[in-house]
A and B are shown apart, each in its own frame.
Chain A
Amino acid sequence: MKAALLGGTRGIGRALGRLLAEKGHDVCLLGRNVEDLERSADDLRIRSASGKAVSAALCDLLRPETFGPSLDEAAAKLEGLDCVIVTAASFAAQERLESDRLLTRELLTTNFTNTVLFCEEARERLLARGGGTLCVLSSVSGERARKPVILYGATKAGLSAYLEGLDHKFRSRGLKTITVKPGFVKTGMTAGLAPPPFAGEPEGVAKDILNAIGRGTPVVYTPAMWRWVMLGIRNLPRFAMRRIEF
C-alpha cells in the first residue's frame, strides 16, 4: 500500500504510521511542521522492517492551498498513491470554546470545512488513479450531541455525513471511503480528561483502522465496544440526553 497520512506525528496517527511501516507499507507523512515531520519520518524508517520509503510533505489543515500540492508531492515521493488517511483534527474543551470565538471558528474550520476540502482533493486524485481508499477519523461524538462536546461533536457529525455520502456515490467507481469512529482514546488530545470505561489505547485503535482499510469496512467503531455503547446512546430519549453531563 502507498499511503499518505495527514496527522501522523501525534496520537492515533503516530500509532497508525508505525503500524503501517512495520507491516511494510510505504508511508508519506503530511503535516505542517517540517522538523516534526522529519523526526516522525525517521522514527518510522527505523521501525519499519524493510526500511521502505517513508517521506514527508508539507500540508497545513488551516491552509487549503497546501492540500493539492502536498498530495501531489506524496504521490511523487511514493511513486503512486492508493490510500489517503486523515487522523488530524483539533480539539478543545467546550467551556473554553464558549468564551473564545476565534478558537471556535478555527475548530469548526479545521475539523469540518478544511477536512472536507482536503478529502475533495484526495477524492479527485484517487479517482484519477482508478480508485483507492480514503480513511478519515470522525468520532462517536458526532452521533449524538452531548454537553461537553457540542461544537467538536457538530463538526464530526457533519464530517460523518459527508463521508457516508462519498462512500455511497464513489464506491462503485473504486473509491472506498472509511469512516472511523473512535470512542475515548488515551492520547495527548484527551490528556487531562478522566478516561471513561472502554477507553482505548492508540495502538489498538491503529490495528482496528488498518483492519478496516484492508477489508474496506465503511464504518468502524474503535474500540469495538463503542458500537454497542453508541447504539444505546443513540436511542436515548431527548429528555434523558438533556440530563446527561458526560
Chain B
Amino acid sequence: MKVSRQRPRGRIDISSGGDYQPKALEGKVSGGFVIDFDIDSMPRPQTPQLSGWGRIPVPGREMLSEDLRELTKNATLTRGLGRSYGDSSLPPPGRFEVASSVLADRILAFDETSGALRAEAGLSLRDLLQVFLRRNWFPPVSPGTEFVTLGGMVAADVHGKNHHVEGTFGAHVGEILLRVADGRIVRCSPELEPELFWATVGGMGLTGHILEVEFRMKRIPTPWIFEERERFGNVDALIAALKRSAKEWPFTVGWIDGMARGRSLGRGVLNRGRWAEPREAPSSPPPPIRRLTVPIDFPNWVLNKWTIQAFNALIYHGHVWNRQRIAHPESFWYPLDKILRWNRIYGPRGFTQYQCVLPDSAGPSAARRFLEVLVAAGGADSFLCVIKDCSTEGKGMLSFPRPGISIALDLAVHPGTQSIVDRLNEAVIGDGGRIYLAKDSFTRAEHFRAMEPRLEKWSEVRRRWDPDLRIRSAQSVRVLGDPA
C-alpha cells in the first residue's frame, strides 16, 4: 500500500464496525484492524447524475447562469425545473451537460390593461403567482404543479383543469425568443415564422433554446376558488359527469381510485371549481401555504398494493363530506405541491407517469376498456390516477391534448414496467389516441410513430432549423430515433 507523507491520509478503524471500505482496499486489509490508506487510492465520487421528476437518472450536469443567451451557445439542450417525469430534460447519451434556465427568471414587461407579460424562460410559475395572484391576475393555463418554468410550459404546451375552455398554454403565447441550432436568435410568433413557432409550442425544447416568452395573463375576480366535489361509483358515471360539468364550470378534473375493480372500476371524485366572487371570498389575499418536505427516500415497499388501496379508500370515502368550499388557490390548482419532493415516496426505484388521451371517436366506453387493459397488464397499483376531458386540439404540431378523455397514472418502476407501457400503448394506438411526451420514459419509437401522424411534418420543420440535429435530448434519441 502506498503511503505518502505529502498526500492526505486517513485512517479506517475496521474494528469499530464502520461499513465503509474502499473498493481499492478489498483484500488488502493486513494484520490488525486499523489501516492507513492513501486518499488517491480511494474510489472517486460518483459521476453527477440528472433525472426527471420520476427519478430515473442518467449521467449529467446542469450548467447554471443568469445569462441564458451565453449559456445556450452550443448547448445540446436546455432544461427548466426538471418536472417532466421522464427523460425529456436529460442529455442524450454521450453528452453530459445541459443548460439550465432557472436563473434566467426576470419579468421584462407587463401591460396592466391587456395582461401581456414578457419574461425570461426560467421564470417559475410559483414566482409568477407570488407576484400576480394578490393583484388578481392568473396565467391563462396552469399545469398541476407550480414548480415549472415558462420555457417548460411552452415546450410541453401544458394543459390544465380549464382545457375545455382555454385550450393549451400555447394558445395564449404571443411570441417566443428562440436560440436556434445554428446560433442565431430568432423571434417567432403566430405571424412571424409561424411554422417554427408552432413546432416549438409542444416541441419539447427540440427546435431551439427558449430564451423569452410573451403571453397573456387573465384577470380574475379574486384569487380564491369556489370548489365543489362529488363522488361517482364508476368510471362511466365519472366521465359523464365530467362532460356535463364542462358546460358550467371553467375548471374540472377527476381523481380515480385505480385499485377499484369490477362494478366499481374507475370510481372516483370529481373536482370542479371557478374563481370566487368578491362577496364569497375572504377579503385578504391567500396566505403562504404550509408545505411539508419528504425528508428521505422512502423504502420501495412503502407504496404497495395494500397501502395504496387503503389510501385510495380513505380519499374516496372521505369525500362524503366537504362538498362545497372556498379553497386556497394553490391547494386547488397544485394539491401535490403541498408536499415538496413527494417523488421520494416511490423510493430509490423511481417511477413513471403514463398519460394518454383517448379520442372521442373511440366511443364512450374507451376509458373503461383502457382501465381493463391496465388491470390485465398488472399495472393498476397506481397511487395517483387523474382523468380529464380535453377539448379542441391546439395548433402546436406535437401538442398532446385532443378532443377526448385524458388519463394519467403513476407507476412505480419495476422489471415489468416496460411491458405494461407497451400494452397500454398498443391499446391507445388501437383507439387512435396518443401519449404525453412530458410524462414518458418507456414508449418505444415505433409505438410513438404509430400514434403520431403529425410527427413527419414536425420533423421536417425541426430539420429545416437544425439539419444536423444538434439539439437533442435523451427522449428524442429514444422516441424520435435521433442519433445518440
Contact residues of A with B, CB < 8 Å? 9-11, 14, 39-40, 42-43, 46-47, 187-188, 191-192, 243, 245
Contact = CB atoms under 8 A, between A and B. Distances in A.
Contacts, number: 35
A46 B8 contact: no
Contacts of B108: 39, 42-43
A46 B103 contact: no
Nearest to A245: B8
Interface string B101-134: 0010011111000000000000000000001000
A179 to B, nearest CB: 25
B300 interface: no
28 contacts: A9-B66, A10-B66, A11-B66, A14-B66, A39-B106, A39-B108, A40-B106, A42-B106, A42-B107, A42-B108, A42-B109, A43-B106, A43-B108, A46-B107, A46-B109, A46-B110, A46-B131, A47-B107, A188-B64, A188-B65, A188-B66, A191-B62, A191-B63, A191-B65, A192-B63, A192-B64, A243-B8, A245-B8
Interface in B36-66: 61-66
Given A42-B109, A46-B107, 19 more contacts: A9-B66, A10-B66, A10-B103, A11-B66, A40-B106, A42-B106, A42-B107, A43-B106, A43-B108, A46-B109, A46-B131, A47-B131, A187-B103, A188-B64, A188-B66, A191-B65, A192-B64, A243-B8, A245-B8
Given A46-B131, A47-B131, A243-B8, A188 B106 contact: no
Interface of B: 8, 61-66, 103, 106-110, 131
Contacts of A192: 61, 63-64
Chain A interface SS verdict (over half): helix
A47 B63 CA distance: 27
Nearest to A190: B64
Contacts of A243: 8
A192 B99 CA distance: 12
Contacts of A40: 106
B271 to A, nearest CB: 32
A11 B65 CA distance: 9
Most buried by B among A11, A42, A43, A192: A43
Contacts of B131: 46-47
Contacts of A47: 107, 131
Nearest to A191: B64
Contacts of A191: 62-65
Contacts of B107: 42-43, 46-47
The residue in B65, B107, B109 that gathers the most chain A C-beta atoms within 10 A of its C-beta is B107
B80 to A, nearest CB: 16
Contacts of A46: 107, 109-110, 131
A245 B109 CA distance: 46
Contacts of A10: 66, 103
Nearest to A41: B106
Contacts of A14: 66
A11 B131 CA distance: 19
Nearest to B117: A46
Nearest to A203: B127
B150 to A, nearest CB: 14
Contacts of B62: 191
A213 to B, nearest CB: 22
Contacts of B63: 191-192
A24 to B, nearest CB: 14
B212 to A, nearest CB: 10
B48 to A, nearest CB: 9
Nearest 3 A/B pairs, CB to CB = A191-B64, A43-B106, A46-B107
